[in-house]
Structure 1
Amino acid sequence: MEVAEEIIWKRKAWDKSYMKMMENQYDGMTITPSLQKRIIFGFLENETDIHLRPLTKLQQDLYNQQDLV
């Protein structure tokens, strides 16, 4: 599944140091960890919002299994 593979590759490519760099680059804007995940990985973090985008639950599960954050 292409979506699953994409999440796995992104998790490997964008680690905590990238997230920190992203915070610094968008200085003056409020970039929360939840918003970072939405921008980079393309899914909504809040479990109650999984119905808003297709495959969100799958993406959340894969993200959490990769043990990066």
Structure 2
Amino acid sequence: MKLNINGQSREMKTLSIPSVLEMEAVPREDWNSIAVARNGNIIPKSAWGEVQLAENDNIDIVRPFAGG
């Protein structure tokens, strides 16, 4: 399945957000401090395991960063 992750096209066999995070090497300990959007809509962490991804979905993984 083709997914667009943070603007980059990726071929994946996964259908879930947790699997995408693992394949993108996002450490599990960081999962509480990131946000995930599917096609521009933020997915609540409580729904990550329930959301089924589809061909050509746009997935954005957002990490906070300090700035000024």
For normalisation by structure 2, the TM-score amounts to 0.29
- Structure 1 or 2: larger strand share? 2
- Structure 1 or 2: larger helix share? 1
For normalisation by structure 1, the TM-score amounts to 0.29
Q: Which has the larger radius of gyration?
A: 1
